[in-house]
């Protein structure tokens, strides 16, 4: 392994796995062999890339910048190899996927074992972020988002719709009553999601279109799970995606309120670069997502538990 691309692969694998021992196991080398290869790469580039202790590795500032560029180079090299084999009917290679948190936790994540069992020659890296990214710049094959894309360079494929619901627990409704109108909702404890810009208003359907409702209650939190736990404890009403509370709704632990005020569901999309559309690993994964979202519903989940 004396060429520069092999050295780069050993270096990035050491960083990804957090040490020479694990990198050696994954590459079929010895830890001392991995260490020598990384040292050879450092001599080649003329800077120290890694800080080494007996227990851990950490990137130097120069190493961090070099690592980011190397991962992109390796991803592009893999894409070039994959493109040559695009006619193959067997999906293979490493698939890099980026998904928003609510979809990762409640739809995509639970389905991934089935995908990996179905396609044993595909490996998968999953990152979970709630911001839009440039998949080409970050070396990501498929991005799954609720928000629409304005990037004409990306292919989008519709996966499903994300329904936004108002929910509260039976305990809260017995104590405070059930809101029947938008005006009556203002009299209830409404728990908001806390974003970096402050508490997020709720999108609701008004008489002349969508309106923004500013919830007021004793709690605001920057976690959908915290909001769900608060609603389950009877602290008030929350607005969340149906994906997030499907289990609780099916068990009767939460109830949907004011369905006539629900905003239009958000479209869930898979986004990927045009040049990746023909890659077998991308094609079968997006097809798998379409089937996964088509089969997902609270009623279907409730039937499977019976």
Same domain as 128, residue 42 = no
Domain boundaries, position 200:
164-261
Q: How far is CA 230 from CA 43, 73, 266, in A?
A: 56, 46, 24
Higher-confidence residue: 22 or 147? 22
Compute CA distances 85 → 66, 79, 223, 250, whole Å.
29, 10, 43, 45
Examine residue 58 and state whether it is found in any structural domain, yes or no. Answer: yes
Q: Say yes or no to pLDDT of 302 above 50.
A: no
Q: Is 293 part of a structural domain of the chain?
A: yes
pLDDT at 50: 92
Q: Which two tokens stand for residue 67?
A: 């690592």
Within this chain, do residues 249 and 174 fall inside the same structural domain, yes or no?
yes
Task: Please give the share of the chain, as a percent, with pLDDT higher than 90.
Answer: 48
**Interatomic CA distance for residues 7 and 24, integer angstroms:** 13
Q: Based on the domain organization, do 40 and 123 belong to the same domain? A: no
Comparison of pLDDT for 77 and 181, the residue scoring more: 181
Which range (68-82, 161-175, 242-256, 276-290) has the least confidence? 68-82
State yes or no: pLDDT of 195 exceeds 90.
no
Please give the residue that has the higher pLDDT: either 147 or 265: 265
Within-domain flag for 71: yes
Do 251 and 299 fall within a single domain? no
What are the two backbone dihedrals, phi and then psi, of residue 238, each rounded to the nearest 5 degrees?
-125, 155
Q: Is residue 73 part of a domain?
A: yes
**Which tens digit of pLDDT belongs to each residue from 89-117?**
678 889 999 998 888 888 999 999 999 99
Same domain, 175 and 27: no
DSSP-assigned letters across all residues of 161-213: EE-EEEEE-HHHHHHH----SHHHHTTS-EEEEEETTEEPPEEEEETTEEEEE
Q: Are residues 291 and 144 both part of a single domain? A: yes
Dist CA 303 CA 306 (whole Å): 5
Please tell me what DSSP assigns to residue 156. E
Mean pLDDT of 27-51: 90
pLDDT digits (tens, 9 = 90+) for 41-93: 899 889 999 998 767 788 999 999 999 999 888 888 877 776 665 546 678 88
Give me the number of domains the chain comprises: 3
Is residue 276 located within the same domain as residue 253? no
Residues 121 and 254 placed together within one structural domain of the fold: no
Higher pLDDT, 151 or 98: 98
Q: Do β-strands 255-257 and 202-206 pair in parallel, antiparallel, or remain unpaired?
A: unpaired
- 37's tokens: 């290869």
Q: What's the confidence (pLDDT) of residue 305?
A: 40
State the pLDDT at residue 17. 87
| pLDDT of 1 strictly over 50 | no
- Alpha carbon distance 143, 162 (integer Å): 16
Asked if residue 215 belongs to a domain, the reply is: yes
pLDDT for position 89: 66
* Inside any domain, residue 47: yes
Among 13-22, 49-58, 234-243, 280-289, whose mean pLDDT is lowest?
A: 49-58
Residue 300 predicted with pLDDT over 60: no
Q: What CATH number should be reported for the domain holding residue 191?
A: 3.40.190.10
Q: Using DSSP, state whether 298 is helix, strand or coil.
A: helix
User: Token pair for residue 139?
Assistant: 């070396």
0.75 surpassed by pTM: no
DSSP state of 214: -
Place of tokens 């396609």: 119
């Amino acid at each position: 392994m004396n060429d520069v691309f092999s050295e780069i692969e050993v270096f990035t694998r050491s960083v990804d796995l957090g040490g020479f021992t694990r990198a050696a196991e994954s590459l079929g080398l010895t830890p001392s062999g991995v260490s020598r290869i990384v040292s050879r790469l450092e001599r080649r580039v003329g800077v120290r890339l890694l800080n080494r202790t007996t227990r851990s590795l950490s990137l130097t500032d120069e190493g961090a910048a070099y690592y980011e560029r190397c991962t992109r180079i390796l991803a592009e090299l893999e894409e070039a190899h994959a493109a040559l084999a695009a006619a193959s009917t067997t999906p293979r290679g490493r698939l890099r996927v980026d998904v928003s948190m609510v979809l990762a936790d409640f739809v995509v994540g639970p389905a991934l074992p089935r995908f990996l069992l179905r396609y044993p020659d595909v490996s998968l890296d999953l990152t979970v972020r709630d911001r839009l990214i440039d998949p080409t710049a970050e070396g990501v094959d498929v991005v799954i988002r609720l928000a629409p894309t304005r990037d004409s360079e990306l292919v989008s494929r519709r996966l499903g719709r994300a329904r936004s619901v108002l929910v509260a627990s039976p305990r809260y409704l017995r104590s405070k009553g059930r809101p029947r109108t938008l005006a009556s909702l203002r009299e209830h404890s409404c728990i908001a999601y806390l974003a970096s810009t402050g508490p997020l208003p709720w999108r609701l359907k008004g008489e002349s279109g969508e309106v923004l409702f500013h919830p007021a209650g004793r709690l605001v939190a920057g976690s959908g799970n915290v909001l769900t736990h608060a609603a389950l404890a009877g602290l008030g009403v929350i607005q969340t995606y149906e994906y997030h509370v499907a289990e609780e709704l099916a068990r009767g632990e939460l109830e949907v309120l004011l369905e006539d005020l629900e905003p239009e569901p958000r479209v869930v999309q898979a986004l990927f670069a045009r040049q990746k559309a023909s890659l077998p690993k991308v094609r079968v994964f997006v097809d798998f997502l379409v089937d996964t979202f088509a089969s997902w519903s609270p009623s279907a989940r409730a039937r499977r538990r019976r």
